[in-house]
Amino acid sequence: MAVIEKLIINQFRNIENQYIEPKKGINLVIGSNAQGKTNLLESIYYLGHNRSFKTTKLSEIIGYKKNSLDLSAIVDEKKITLKKTTNKTKINIDNTTVASSSKLTKLLPIQIITPDKGFVINGTPKNKRSYLDWGLFHVKPELLQTYKTYNKTLKNINSLLNKNQTNDLEYWYLELTKTARIINENRDKYVKNLTKITQSLNDKYLKKIVNNTEKFEYSLFTGWPKEVGDLNETNIYKYLIKQTNNFARLKFLSCGAHKASIKFYLNNKNESLLSRGQQKKYSLIFWLSQIELLVQQGVHPIVLIDDISSELDKDKTKTIMSCLELLNIQAFITDISSNTSTHQNHKQATFLIDNGTIKTHNSLPIN
């Protein structure tokens, strides 16, 4: 079970040198605007991914006028450190240097829910794919290699298409079909399992906020057109050959596993027609389903939720918090102070953040 027991943040945006001891369950982070709530979540995400969900520019993340950042944590009794300067990254696990950040990701499976990343409902295909593949990766880490091979093959194909060397494509097409089939099969299975979980989650924990008249459904969009038929290697290969002239004109492979996504519907209505509040609510339900699925498989992710009560009323916020408690995972949830009364009943640790300084707070003021 992934639990951050201790966390040190150094020179990460406006957080200069802070140490906290989070609890195993829900950790509430309260602060008014621009105090560093999102920065704190971003730093935890950063430690688990060696990248941000907000920017690719390290210079934006390192504290102003500083030239390095340092994050370290004790996670399940392992000591993790990540030190970055503008030209160097150093990752240590139990004082041993590791080369790949996927080791961090495995130790720190993090699910982040933030308007900065966009909601999954009505999100970009890229965003949806990243949640899909995040879930799949933690259920089946060995697929990472398959994805890497797919991406390498795709790169070669695109490079040949770009140079109009279509004669050399056949070999790479054949290579691509192998990984494309495996990725699709696994995504399909994952989404089907997840759909069942969503249903059981609604029945078990979310009755109060999901009524029977709301039919929330989603399915995998494979990234391949219907015309391909069954996504076996022969069909994919035949389709690629047939469409080569089109791809050559575009200079890239315009369909495939790299274009996969998820389509969401509420009462048969397309996701783009839902209100923002509905998009947030159902995004949370989708994410909770991913967490429940992982918990069932023995992986307990760490959940980060930013600005929980913006766009969610008190009842929904309460229900989601209780659900997280029942899932028995560690969560970091940020909120602005005026909404703290919503969370009075929950067992949790509370931290107050003010201008980048984090303080533990034992009893919340009742307002």
Which of ligand ADP, Mg ion, none lies near 39, with the C-beta cut-off 5 to 8 A by kind?
ligand ADP
At its nearest, how many Å lie between ligand ADP and the CB of residue 196?
35
* Cβ-proximal residues to 28 (8 Å cutoff; 6+ apart), any chain: 333, 334, 335, 340, 343, 348, 349, 350, 351
> Please, which of residues 29-48 interact with ligand ADP by CB under 6 A?
31, 33-39
Which of ligand ADP, Mg ion, none lies near 64, with the C-beta cut-off 5 to 8 A by kind?
ligand ADP
**Nearer Cβ to ligand ADP (11/198):** 11
**Nearer Cβ to Mg ion (37/258):** 37
At its nearest, how many Å lie between ligand ADP and the CB of residue 28?
13
**Nearer Cβ to Mg ion (39/153):** 39
At its nearest, how many Å lie between ligand ADP and the CB of residue 54?
9
And the tokens for 320?
């989601």
Number of chain residues interacting with ligand ADP (CB under 6 A)? 15
At its nearest, how many Å lie between ligand ADP and the CB of residue 105?
23
At its nearest, how many Å lie between Mg ion and the CB of residue 114?
8
Which of Mg ion, ligand ADP, none lies near 60, with the C-beta cut-off 5 to 8 A by kind?
ligand ADP
Per-residue contact track with ligand ADP, 127 to 166, x per CB under 6 A?
----------------------------------------
At its nearest, how many Å lie between Mg ion and the CB of residue 308?
11
**Nearer Cβ to ligand ADP (115/125):** 115
**Nearer Cβ to Mg ion (24/117):** 117
At its nearest, how many Å lie between Mg ion and the CB of residue 320?
18
Which of Mg ion, ligand ADP, none lies near 14, with the C-beta cut-off 5 to 8 A by kind?
ligand ADP
- Burial code (b: 16+ CB inside 10 Å, e: under 16) for 13-37 equals bbbeebebebbbbbbbbbbeeebbb
Torsion sign across C-alpha atoms 301, 24, 303, 275: positive
Whole-angstrom CA distances from 194 to 177, 179, 258, 287 are 25, 22, 21, 10
Which of Mg ion, ligand ADP, none lies near 63, with the C-beta cut-off 5 to 8 A by kind?
ligand ADP
> Please, which of residues 47-86 interact with ligand ADP by CB under 6 A?
60-64
> Please, which of residues 193-252 interact with ligand ADP by CB under 6 A?
none
Whole-angstrom CA distances from 38 to 18, 41, 103, 107, 260 are 15, 5, 24, 22, 29
At its nearest, how many Å lie between ligand ADP and the CB of residue 38?
3
Measured CA to CA, the distance from residue 348 to residue 343 in angstroms comes to 9
Residue with smallest beta-carbon separation from Mg ion? 38
Measured CA to CA, the distance from residue 261 to residue 221 in angstroms comes to 5
At its nearest, how many Å lie between Mg ion and the CB of residue 34?
8
Count CB atoms within 10 A of the CB of residue 49: 18
**Nearer Cβ to Mg ion (13/37):** 37
* Cβ-proximal residues to 114 (8 Å cutoff; 6+ apart), any chain: 38, 41, 53, 304, 305, 306, 307
Measured CA to CA, the distance from residue 74 to residue 80 in angstroms comes to 6
Count CB atoms within 10 A of the CB of residue 83: 15
Whole-angstrom CA distances from 348 to 21, 145, 328, 354 are 12, 38, 12, 19
> Please, which of residues 29-58 interact with Mg ion by CB under 5 A?
37-38
Measured CA to CA, the distance from residue 184 to residue 129 in angstroms comes to 12
Question: Footprint of ligand ADP on this chain (CB under 6 A)?
Answer: 13-14, 31, 33-39, 60-64
Binding site for Mg ion (CB under 5 A): 37-38
